[in-house]
Structure 1
Amino acid sequence: MRLQVVARHLNQEKIVFLLTVALVIAFAALLPNFLDRGNLLSLVRSVAVLGVLGLGMLIVVLGRGIDLSLVAIMAISVAWSMQLIHQGLPVYAALALGLVFAVGIAFFTGILVAYAEIPPLFATLAMSTFVYGFGRAHLITGTDVVYMPQNMGWIVGLGQGKLIGIPMPIVIAALAAFVIFLFLRFTKLGSYVYAIGDNLAASRISGISVRPMLVLQYVLAGVIAFVAGVLTATSVEAMNTRIVNSNMIYDVILVVVLGGVGLSGGRGNVRNVIVGTLLIGVLMNGMTIMDIQYTVQNVIKSLILLLAIVIDSVVNPRDEQTGQQGDI
């Protein structure tokens, strides 16, 4: 009876949170200075950009989609902006053009998904390849890495500054999370995102403009990707476009799904992304301190994801109707 009561109150988010707490306790016992304020701030800062990208993915996944082009949009749009500044364009104009590029690509992706009805998985995978190829061939030529110009002014503080001792990437990630929370929780458009993800056909019958809403989801994700790119570039003083070919986009999906956001759409919130991001942050920080090889770290992350999903499936079995909801 007690086990049934516990199972009834557990969900994937709570399970992942408990795993995070367990990891913190274990690392604190095994690793010297793990709980030092400096290390904890470094831990959260290291996954701040991942968390911001996770917020963009959250909006798309809630609407029963997925976006594999987020990292490509982030890297190419910001790298192009910085190259334009090197070529003499004013900082704000260059950043505005980069943002327009990010929004334009995201808008076109939304059109492909909403109006051409191309499955999001294939549409965004193709757009990721296109953005990277087009950017390297026509926008950013002759280099993989575009270094941050010296005349960026106060914008540098977004990646390197501090607010009451807290690194600005953490502050901006928290602010972005709060804004997305307000959008999803208290706006009509946010409720439409959940409704479409929960039941697209019923949403259309009820009068929701489903296709424009799908486009809006991708546009919002594109804007968030640009913000994440600015944070990345100002933090490390460069944008390496090879990040598009890394496994970062899979880490973004990992923190979203790991936290409990359902790929079938309509289930999840900002808190899920935060929990998933913190688990990955704690896990990566601890493994890095222990000098575990990168490939082994990827295997461990995959096993943690699988374990969380299996446990959630056991304590919260899906009924037939839930199991038939949508796909990616």
Structure 2
Amino acid sequence: MGSIGWRSLNQERIVLVVAVLIFIAASIGLPGFFTADNIIAIVRSVSVLGILALGMAIVIIGRGIDLSAVAVMAMSVAWYLQLLGSGTSDGVALGMVLAGVLAIGLLNGFLVAYADVPAIFVTLASGSFVFGAVRSQLITQDAVPVPPGHWIELFGGLRFFKVPVEVFIFAALAFATFLFLRYTKWGRYVYFAGDNPIAARNIGIPVRPMLVLRYVISGLIAFSAGLLTAASLHSINTRIVNSTLLYDIVLVAVIGGIGLAGGKGSVRNVLFGAALIGIMLNAMTIIDIPLIYQNLIKSTILLAAIIVDGVINPRDEQTAQQGDI
């Protein structure tokens, strides 16, 4: 009976309630929290994180993981800005970088789908390769600025109803991801393959090509998040690859309710997870909790979320043997 009770828990509702409670407590107890500027700052701070979590969610729902997302985000945009700074035309620079992003996505997907290498090792290695190759061969400094007057700089200054444009981009990408997963044949295949890849293959679903597609989509979403980061900061700092951002992405997905065993989750889970993490991080910043303790709190929450996910969504024997996660 205890097992049935655990499995019947609705994690996303729990996360939403906790987020609302923290928001109410912070609004009452923290001066400056419940202001229009701070609310916009919270939403803006989770926009890029949420966009990256959308790509991660698609991969995890399909029974995989992409640890190269942050490296692709930072290094692709850094290379793009470096090309622009050296005089390369915008079209050529963008085409070269998109080709590189697609190549990494295809390589990740091919090695996982056709070479049967566990996704965690493939994407960890490809992320390290992307960072090392771009930093040593293609760019000259850690922080690469946006050329003055470029459309990225102008884009970063856009506001609609005083709300930064990246918030609307996050909303648009979230809606597009929702439509893809819910209403397209290929989106439904993601769930089928994540739930039971052998059964999906037996009924004729192209499981391996679909897996490659998921890593390509993840790479493209990561590149989009990098462009928004550069637009907001007017530069991209490649040292972000060595930050805790990757763990924050996984935290948003897992704590929101995306099942690591595959076949379970939705865009709503990402939105709830991003809301909770955004509110929590903002409150800790106002309280002036040192960064090292913020990371400790986040890592503890991630560990707890993984344990809860393992109880609510137990891995089947096939997943354990594949070592996908």
TM range, smaller chain: over 0.9
Contact 1:78 1:239 in 2 (8 A): yes
Matches within 5 A, 1:122-133: 122-133=121-132
1:292 aligns with 2:283: no
Instruction: Report what 2:11 is aligned to.
Output: 12
Q: State the Cα distance separating 1:7 from its structure 2 match.
A: 7.5
Report what 1:100 is aligned to: 99
Q: 1:239 is aligned with what amino acid?
A: I
Partner of 1:52: 51
Counterpart-to-counterpart distance in 1, 2:139 and 2:307: 44
Q: State the distance in 2 between where 1:197 and 1:308 align.
A: 20
2:226 maps to 1:233 = no
Segments of 4+ in structure 1 off by > 4 A? Answer: 5-9, 306-314
Deviation at 1:323, TM superposition (A): 4.5
User: Which deviations, in whole Å up to 9, do the C-alpha atoms of 1:43-75 show, x marking residues without a partner?
Assistant: 110111000000010111011000000000011
| Number of aligned residue pairs | 320
1:265 is aligned, of 256, 262, 269, to 262
Question: Is the CA contact 2:254–2:305 (under 8 Å) kept in the aligned structure 1?
Answer: no
2:140 maps to 1:148: no
Amino acid at match of 1:94: A
1:39 has 2:32 as partner: no
Report deviation, 1:157.
Answer: 3.9
Q: TM-score, normalised by structure 1?
A: 0.92
- 1:263 deviates by 0.7
- The residue aligned with 2:75 is 76
- What SS class does the counterpart of residue 89 from structure 1 fall into? coil
Give SS of 2:59's match: helix
What TM-score, normalized by structure 2, do the two folds share? 0.93
Q: 1:157 to 1:168 in 2, by over 3 A?
A: farther
Aligned to 1:21: 20
Once the two structures are TM-superposed, the CA of residue 310 in structure 1 deviates from its matched residue by 5.7
Find the aligned partners of 1:218 and 1:309 in 2 and give their Cα distance: 22
Distance 2:313 2:210 in 1: 27
Contact 1:83 1:146 in 2 (8 A): yes
**Superposed CA RMSD:** 2.1
Look up the equivalent residue of 2:236 and give its one-letter code. M
Return 223-232 or 7-16, whichever deviates more.
Answer: 7-16
Identical aligned residues as a percent: 51
Task: State the match for 1:278 in structure 2.
Answer: 275
User: Are the equivalent residues in 1 in contact too, given 2:60–2:260 (CA < 8 A)?
Assistant: yes
Q: Deviations over 1:295-328 (max 9, x none)?
A: 11112223334455566777xx557xx5546241
Counterpart Cα distance in 2 of 1:60 and 1:8: 23
Of 226-235 and 132-141, more deviation after overlay is shown by: 132-141
Aligned partner of 2:156 in structure 1 is: 159
Q: Does 1:182 align with 2:184?
A: no
- Counterparts of 1:325 and 1:198 in 2: how far apart (Å)? 11
Q: Structure 1: any 5+ residue segments left out of the alignment?
A: none
Alpha-carbon distance between aligned partners in 1 of 2:104 and 2:7, rounded to the nearest angstrom: 43
Checking the alignment, whether the CA contact within 8 Å between 2:19 and 2:275 is kept in structure 1 is yes
